Amino acid sequence: MDIFDKCYAFTLADDYKAQGIYPYFRALETRQDTEVIMEGKRRIMLGSNNYLGLTTCPEVIEAGIKAFEQYGSGCSGSRFLNGTLQLHLELEAELRDFLRKDDVITFSTGFQSNLGIISAIVGRNDYVICDRENHASIYDGCRLSYGKMLRYQHADMADLEKVLARVPDTAGILIVTDGVFSMGGDVAKLPEIVALAKKYGARVMVDDAHGLGVMGEGGRGTASHFGLENEVDIYMGTFSKSLASLGGYMAGDAKVVDYVRHNSRPYIFSASMTPASAASALAALRYLRKHPEIVDRLRSLGNYARDGLKKRGLEIIESETPIVPIYTYDAVNTLTKAKELYDAGVYVNSSLPPATPPDGCLLRTSYMASHTEALLDEAMDIIQKVMLG
């Protein structure tokens, strides 16, 4: 058998292209903003994770340019060796202070963060327990570890307790959950998760990629939203969303962070964040700290969009975040509607299996603090026309 047989047999992408509904790899010709030029035409951007709109913030852009000029284009090595800049240390210190944790370690990408944290913490004879709708990077981090992964039904606390009850008393347990789930926009039931963790002697890790800058006091995330900052053991997050850059982080107890720093293979054997990425993330963090009202603006616009879509007769997933998915159910209908919206001037994301159940496909809309109500009204009128005729 030729190992490439599976590659030649894969036709799904070609099938969608033949139908004219293939939605991926569309090229932007302008900055990531509320309105973009994509493939030569203006599109209202409702498919970005640029929640605070800081990719176009002058302070963020200037910081990236200055870092490029001062430090060059890259670090050419791992943090262990020649790849640690004073800039990395400043970013970690200020993020540690913002998140009110003992220590912070930064990674080159958000995906790498989950790989690096989970694979280092979860060892042989340990258990890692996941919500079924956790991000793919969490699953891959579990696979990279030597521990045993168990899953519970999405947001089902009774099922989580059943899973916890199956774990031997002698095993270490890490419960990992998204804080804000990226597809549905719903928020983890952290109070119940923390209570069960205490009951069964487990530790709790929250992937706050979509929570930082979105939830909590001044955008401090999901644990802050619930007043559980001292109860969640590990925060993981990214810089590619609210902080308008590229990279990721782990925040937690200093001894635990230092263990990961010295035992995480994805961290040890990867080049460090580029200077421009680190500087941009730091500038975005500083902007957020100076302007906490931007989080309130984002929340207001998310509510405005949610109410506007419902008033226009759209069936959505209810949440309290700037992620507002619209039900489309099957894959072909989802891709067809996404293409019609794109042609009409609105970009949204198609959410298909394995990110959703086969009969639960979605059009995922997401909003930025830099949107205006007038622009959202224009977009929602287009969505109504396309979706409902």
* Residues assigned a catalytic role: 182, 210, 241
| Alpha carbons 126 and 53: distance in angstroms, whole number | 40
* Per-position DSSP letters for 228-295, written without gaps between them: -TTT--EEEEESSSTTSSS-EEEEE-HHHHHHHHHH-HHHHTSBPPPHHHHHHHHHHHHHHHH-THHH
Q: For residue 105, give both structure tokens.
A: 């370690």
> β-pairing, 203-207 with 234-238?
parallel
81 vs 85, 216, 270, 350, CA distance in Å? 11, 36, 11, 41
| Alpha carbons 52 and 266: distance in angstroms, whole number | 29
CB 133 within 8 A of CB 184: yes
| Alpha carbons 177 and 123: distance in angstroms, whole number | 18
| Alpha carbons 207 and 332: distance in angstroms, whole number | 31
CB 83 within 8 A of CB 77: yes
